Amino acid sequence: LLIDEAVKAQKISIDEGKKAISVIDMFILAKRMEKEGSEVIHLEVGEPDFGPPEKVKRATYDAISKGYTHYTEPSGILSLREGIANSVSERYSIDVSPEQVAITSGGRFSVYASILSTLSPGGEAIVIQPAWPAYVDCIETIRGRIISIKTNLEEGWKPDIESISNLINNSTELIVINYPNNPTGKVLEKRDMRALVDLAIERNITILSDEVYSDYSFKPFSSILEFHDCKSICVSSFSKSYGMTGFRIGYAISNVGTIRKISKIQALASTSVPEFIQYAAIEALKCKDDVKKYTSLIRERINLVCKELKKMNLSYYEPDGAFYVFPRISKDRSFDAGKFSFDLLKDKKVSVTPGITFGDYPDFIRISACQAEHLLLEGLRRIGEMLR
């Protein structure tokens, strides 16, 4: 009963936040407008327009024609887990074994299964905001308590370790981090990661590190996997690195016990990731050149977005990675970027994500750099018109 009440109280404080127009409202409106013949410029989607490498497409057809169309072990086929273990071991000069890898239905399911396997009902999870909304949604779904840590543009979106330390108590079980960050593009310096890890070790807390954008780092990136002394789960995915969003394949890396729990949840929810998709992922691991090509393309697009935002005199953090730029579009804290985004869609046919989606950021919008340059330029021109 106590836990139920505590969770209810937590829910109320979240739901009472400014939530005038939801992303779903925006999505429904965009779909309706497109159905009625309008051409909407999509600057809200976190999905690259380039799709998977040709070799991955061919490997998918080959795998189907060879009859790899069955269930597999819930944790994933050994050759894929070996491929991932070898790839991260080489990248970060560490020693990860295939038993420490679980293949899941996208990075999203890894996040959900990781939270479900580490957080007890009523247990507390610290989420550093702005944050991808799925963390809060997953924690709420399993009836955990969310402790939000706000970061801000003025401090370069860097979390304050002392504020985190002050909020930790006996019920705190998890700290969720995501670098390169969606929506800010921040990558934490290694010394700041070290400070966070030291705090987690001292207070016996697990770090869940969502690293789905790690290939899109424009400056040195430190994975949680480099810090052996810390209890951690690293989540990654094939969606962003290889343009394989619709394949729905991701993975978690942790200690063997936690990986068993995550695989059990994968088995419970969907048996396994389809066999031929796992074979496609093995091929993807060999496509390093494509990843480099995609990264430089996204980086060029981000630079273009930044250049245009600068011309508009908007403040933003120059991204260190990921797909997005997160500008403040008003100096007025009572500004409603939700309404702005809705009006932008209705009047100018440009879809962006309002800052409120990622926490208490009503004066920000997220612009995704996943579209071709001409669409980005036209979308930004219309945003400029709206702001005039």
The Cα 180–Cα 113 span in angstroms is 21
For helices 373-387 and 337-348, what crossing angle results, to 10°? 110
Are the CB atoms for 105 and 247 separated by under 8 Å? no
Q: Name which of 182 and 351 has its Cβ closer to ligand PLP.
A: 182
* Sole residue written with tokens 């789960």: 233
Q: Name which of 138 and 259 has its Cβ closer to ligand PLP.
A: 138
CB of 312 vs ligand PLP, minimal distance in Å: 25
- φ and ψ of 57, to 5 deg: -60, -45
Whole-angstrom CA distances from 244 to 135, 153, 156, 250 are 22, 31, 31, 10
The Cα 121–Cα 144 span in angstroms is 5
CB of 252 vs ligand PLP, minimal distance in Å: 11
Buried b (16+ CB within 10 A) or exposed e, 228-264: eebbbbbbbbbbbbbbbbebbbbbbbbeeebbebbbb
CB of 183 vs ligand PLP, minimal distance in Å: 9
Neighbours of 195 (CB within 10 A): 17
CB of 180 vs ligand PLP, minimal distance in Å: 9
Q: Name which of 239 and 272 has its Cβ closer to ligand PLP.
A: 239
AA letter at 91: R
Q: Name which of 182 and 206 has its Cβ closer to ligand PLP.
A: 182
CB of 359 vs ligand PLP, minimal distance in Å: 13
Helix (H, G, I), strand (E, B) or coil at 39: coil
Q: Name which of 178 and 278 has its Cβ closer to ligand PLP.
A: 178
CB of 134 vs ligand PLP, minimal distance in Å: 7
CB of 189 vs ligand PLP, minimal distance in Å: 19
Q: Name which of 206 and 237 has its Cβ closer to ligand PLP.
A: 237
Positions that interact with ligand PLP (CB under 6 A): 46, 106-108, 132, 178, 182, 210, 212, 237, 239, 245, 250
Q: Name which of 239 and 351 has its Cβ closer to ligand PLP.
A: 239
CB of 169 vs ligand PLP, minimal distance in Å: 27
Residues 6+ apart with CB under 8 A from 229: 197, 201
AA letter at 48: P
| Helix and strand numbers, DSSP H then E, in the chain | 13, 12
Q: Name which of 75 and 178 has its Cβ closer to ligand PLP.
A: 178
CB of 251 vs ligand PLP, minimal distance in Å: 9
Q: How do strand 324-325 and strand 365-368 relate by DSSP bridges?
A: antiparallel
* 3-state SS, one letter per residue, for 138-156: HHHHCCCEEEEEECCHHHC
Q: Name which of 75 and 181 has its Cβ closer to ligand PLP.
A: 181
